[in-house]
Structure 1
Amino acid sequence: MKIWFLTPTFPPVHGGSETQAFTLAAGLVRRGHRVQVLTERYPGTSETEVLDGVRVHRVATDPERWSSPDCVPWEERCFGLLRDAERLVRRGEVDVLQTFCQVGALLGAMMKAALDCPLVVSMNETTPHTDPFGDARSRLVFGGLPHDRVVAGSRAFAEQALDYGADPAKLHLVRYGVDETLYGEVTPEAVREARAWMGTGPQDRIVLLVGRFKERKGQRELVEAMTHVVRDHPRARAVLVGSLNSASAAYKRALEEDIARAGLAGRVALRTSDRPYGGMSALYRAADVVVQPSHSEGLGLSAIEAVLAGRPLVATRVPGLSEVLENCPGTVGVPPRDPASLARAISAVLADPDAAARDAERAEEAARREFTAEAMVNGYLKVYEQAVSARGGAWR
């Protein structure tokens, strides 16, 4: 099959949605399908490149284009990407058009009739209601666009789609999967390098949180929890690793102020991630416990990655993360927005490392069954086959 992905962000940008899109694309290529990606061009990236067999086309959407004399700025901001899409994506060269967010779904809906192909949409907006006109936009995207199929990566995303008017007959649950081969053995040298990168010493007990710097990730609750943890475990050090892509610089500054106010300088560190795709395994392996104190998640790929790396996991019982906790016995669930409960759970893991290691091993075995990239690729291929067949086409 000839498949085009439309996604505003793609590796080397870090995040759960980027990891999902790349894992799916690479898995489809390994099955013999042709996948091309239309995405944003960031500094240091090429206009066209091939990553694990996936051809990636990157286009710049900078303000200079908006102010060109032959453009109307409003139109360029709203529809400028269509010019790039028309140049790259041609009728007859697409069997399936796949998008991964609401803006991608809108763009795809404008393209599908001209390309004469089915449109399959997946949404990765965890809290779309917080965006301007978010509820109305979501009702349009899920209930009003001419997409052929909606794929939800978790129960939480499936419920969101139905709440916003998605047709149940077109909705498919295909749980996100992680390439478990990225989380195999890690050399002692790589772990030492990861500890040095995080600014921790060999005797420190590392509490790791991976996630974009944004309020719903619950980083402020971890900072507050660490005021209690360090009393019982003086060598405990929390490291918050994230990015500012689709995040908040103001929130990161607030975290820095929280750390200083709590007297935790040297005990809680913020690190902006610049590690390549697949380069997180050593960070997880260096951790004594990984925490995910989010207020909401679509699923929580970083939580799954931590479990696959064999690390104890403490996560909040919220939609999305609850799906990980339920399917990976040995993980620890805590209430959201509750720093005291989070501190007790972290301290309990640090207090009994042998028990924590046994629980982590049990959870890892379950994750390798429940959250596989192979199952995700199989699920998407079935959806593509149905979408193509429903339009009277053939996919092989």
Structure 2
Amino acid sequence: MNAVLRAGVKVTQRHADAVVYISRTVAKSYGEPTNTDGSQKNLRRSVIYNGLNIDSITASADRAGARTPQQLVSVGRLAPVKGHRMVIEALPELAKSFPLIRYTIIGEGNERENLMSLAHRLGVSKRVHLLGWLSHADAIAEMARSAAVIMPTRDNEGFGLALVEAVLSGSPVVASTIPVFKEIANRGIRGIHFFTNNDVASLAKAVTKVLAQPMAPDAIANSREQVRKEFSAKEMSRHYFAIYQQTISQGR
């Protein structure tokens, strides 16, 4: 967030009845204690995670069909901050151990030509597939059909909604070590494997481990259940409702 917008938000929140941050990472960026969450008694400053329609996402994933061996997929706009370049740079090394390796990107943006140019220079253009934007259900299904979902975002985000969706898809996830991704994993979410941010060799090592050790069905079920507890729309609504109740009871 640029300095002018950040200053404006700080002024606005001083006059608000309640302030909600979508992650502890965002709360910390505003100088709030990082141990706050939506269940605390004082809801003047709260962290409430964005909620998802868990049933809809898992239904799309379960209808996807069989996995494609050695297929990697990322979902996100084609921009340098999303880190797709690192995955392409890792493909030559990964291809030595996984001859069927391919990388599919769902999204669109001004980096399309640069990414394909890089793939040609590295001799992996036939392994890189840019699908453009798909419907939400189709994107979830593509993640579910893949051997791994790659989240190579280079800079921090407010909340990793796509990361949570990737976990729900049932595929193992390889993610960069940005703070909000680590925060999500620390909520007890399994199936996320981290690589050092902006480190191609570390990314390749994490992908190799995931492809060599597929995720067990019980681990998928456990991860989905934990997501339901932490990131469902119902859970989000419950916390917001508590804030409204407190605000109304105090006559604000």
Whole-angstrom CA distance in 1 between matches of 2:51 and 2:86: 28
How far off its partner does 1:386 sit? 3.0
Q: Do the aligned partners of 1:330 and 1:362 also contact (CA within 8 Å) in 2? A: no
Q: Say whether 1:329 aligns with 2:190.
A: yes
Amino acid at match of 2:200: P
Amino acid at match of 1:301: L
How far off its partner does 1:303 sit? 1.1
Q: Do the aligned partners of 1:243 and 1:272 also contact (CA within 8 Å) in 2? A: yes
Whole-angstrom CA distance in 1 between matches of 2:216 and 2:195: 16
TM (normalized to structure 2)? 0.84
Matches within 5 A, 1:1-396: 128=1, 134-144=2-12, 146-162=15-31, 170-186=44-60, 190-191=64-65, 204-244=69-109, 249=110, 251-275=111-135, 277-295=136-154, 296-326=156-186, 327-353=188-214, 355=215, 359-392=219-252
Whole-angstrom CA distance in 1 between matches of 2:133 and 2:246: 39
SS class of match (2:118): helix
How far off its partner does 1:214 sit? 2.1
Whole-angstrom CA distance in 1 between matches of 2:116 and 2:213: 30
Whole-angstrom CA distance in 1 between matches of 2:55 and 2:146: 19
TM (normalized to structure 1)? 0.55
**What is the Cα-based RMSD across aligned positions, in Å?**
2.6
Q: Do the aligned partners of 1:241 and 1:273 also contact (CA within 8 Å) in 2? A: yes
How far off its partner does 1:340 sit? 0.8
Q: Deviations over 1:256-280 (max 9, x none)?
A: 22112111111011221131x4443
How far off its partner does 1:378 sit? 1.0
Q: Deviations over 1:172-222 (max 9, x none)?
A: 111122211123345887448xxxxxxxxx865210111122222211111
Q: Structure 2: where are the runs of 5+ without partners?
A: 33-41
Q: 1:361 to 1:335 in 2, by over 3 A?
A: farther
Whole-angstrom CA distance in 2 between matches of 1:215 and 1:227: 20
Amino acid at match of 1:342: L
> Which residue in the other structure is 1:24 paired with?
none
Whole-angstrom CA distance in 2 between matches of 1:311 and 1:206: 11
Amino acid at match of 2:49: R
SS class of match (1:288): strand
SS class of match (2:129): strand
Whole-angstrom CA distance in 1 between matches of 2:44 and 2:62: 48
Larger radius of gyration: 1
How far off its partner does 1:288 sit? 0.9
Q: Do the aligned partners of 2:75 and 2:139 also contact (CA within 8 Å) in 1? A: no
Amino acid at match of 2:129: A
Q: Deviations over 1:282-318 (max 9, x none)?
A: 1121111011111222221111111112111111121
Amino acid at match of 1:149: A
Q: 1:285 to 1:380 in 2, by over 3 A?
A: same
> Which residue in the other structure is 2:37 paired with?
none
% identical equivalent positions: 27
